[in-house]
Amino acid sequence: MEECSNTGIVIQMQDYSIHDGDGVRTTIFLAGCKLRCQWCANPESWTTKSKLVFYRHKCIGCMKCATACPIDLIPCKMERPNDTCTACGKCVEVCTQKALDIACTEKSASALVKKIERDALFFRYSGGGVTFSGGEPFLQHKFMRVLLGKFEELGIDSWVETCGHFDFETVQDLIPKFSHIFLDIKHMDSEKHKNFTGCGNELILENAKKIYATGVPMTIRIPTIVEVNLDDENIEKTAQFILKNLPTANIELLPYHALGKAKYISLGIEDKFIPFTTPTAAQINHAYDIFKSYGIEIIEYR
């Protein structure tokens, strides 16, 4: 029997997104990920633990947060991550500057669905819906199972964006509930994949084939990073893999950007931020030309 959970850990909900699939969509970012991509723009997603986020540039030094903390921490000055902080959010409530926030909070399926339901008309008229993202959303398959059931009842279209690193057997009942799946392929060389993400690529490539076999339309998303995977050899191998195993999938290249740095600072883990080079338009077009030469269709949502 498939397991269900009426609560889950949500990083954030992004309304009116036009980059995560067809039409106007709400993207539900679920916490937790087993990879540690060196270019990750969402490091708050790595664990499901609630954590205090501090945006130093917004702080005016009023110290209201310090008076609100029940365990006498000084949120605007303390070292973070801080094991003593319970992420209770009392300091967030009093900060008028929105300099504090809690990342990764527990939400009930009913509250989340109620919020989504309000936008059902936008979804219907734009051909949109919801897109699950993360983190790796399938790690919270018990929560997704409940949400997908409700969205199905309400006639709300569901897409998912996955890194592919999950146990397929645990989630296979969910796959047909999506009308489209974005799956990331980051590198075709497993050793390099491991160096850059902490895990080899075998499970991801196997899951790509298993998802494809279900017949749900797929887009392969490739985070493109000059120092990592934009060389012709890797692009050719990726194209060959898609052509052989996922012949009707289209692809989208997602050029690396350094905007995630602000998140590392706000979480107090700036030392973990690794800068890479953003590809030029010419480099991206060159990679697209290689995919086109294999007859692979290009799509751009971002």
Rule CB under 6 A: is residue 89 a binding residue for ligand SF4? yes
Fill in the per-residue mask, 198 to 237: x = in contact with ligand SF4 (CB under 6 A), - = not in contact: ----------------------------------------
Quick one: 119 or 193, whose CB is closer to ligand SF4?
A: 193
Segment interacting with ligand SF4, rule: CB under 6 A, options 66-74, 111-119, 152-160, 208-216: 66-74
Fill in the per-residue mask, 241 to 280: x = in contact with ligand SF4 (CB under 6 A), - = not in contact: ----------------------------------------
Rule CB under 6 A: is residue 32 a binding residue for ligand SF4? no
What are the Cα distances from residue 142, in Å, to 146, 148, 199? Answer: 7, 10, 24
Segment interacting with ligand SF4, rule: CB under 6 A, options 16-24, 53-61, 169-177, 268-276: 53-61
Rule CB under 6 A: is residue 90 a binding residue for ligand SF4? yes
Rule CB under 6 A: is residue 160 a binding residue for ligand SF4? no
* φ/ψ of residue 2, rounded to 5: -70, 140
Segment interacting with ligand SF4, rule: CB under 6 A, options 93-101, 171-179, 187-195, 271-279: 93-101
Shortest Cβ 13–ligand SF4 spacing (Å): 16
Strand-pair category, 105-108 with 100-103: unpaired
Tokens 């309000």 sit on residue:
118
Among 9, 30, 109, 163, binds ligand SF4 (CB under 6 A): 163
Q: What is the DSSP string of the chain?
A: -----SEEEEEEEEEEESSSSSSSEEEEEE---S---TT-S-GGGSSS--EEEE-GGG-----HHHHH-TT---TTTS-SS-TT-----HHHHH-TT--EEEESEEEEHHHHHHHHHTTHHHHHHHT-EEEEESS-GGGGHHHHHHHHHHHHHHT--EEEEE-S-S-HHHHTTTGGG-SEEEEE---SSHHHHHHHHSS-SHHHHHHHHHHHHTT--EEEEEEE-TTTT-SHHHHHHHHHHHHHH-TT-EEEEEE--STTHHHHHHTT-GGG----PPPPHHHHHHHHHHHHHTTPPB----
Segment interacting with ligand SF4, rule: CB under 6 A, options 34-42, 151-159, 188-196, 233-241: 34-42
Rule CB under 6 A: is residue 73 a binding residue for ligand SF4? yes
Rule CB under 6 A: is residue 69 a binding residue for ligand SF4? yes
Rule CB under 6 A: is residue 86 a binding residue for ligand SF4? yes
Among 1, 3, 71, 79, binds ligand SF4 (CB under 6 A): 71
Among 64, 80, 192, 286, binds ligand SF4 (CB under 6 A): 64
Size of the site for ligand SF4 (CB under 6 A): 37
Cα–Cα distance, 165 to 205 (Å, whole number): 9
> What are the residues binding ligand SF4 (CB under 6 A)?
33, 35-37, 40, 42, 45, 52, 59-65, 68-69, 71, 73, 75-76, 85-91, 94-95, 97, 99-100, 134-136, 163
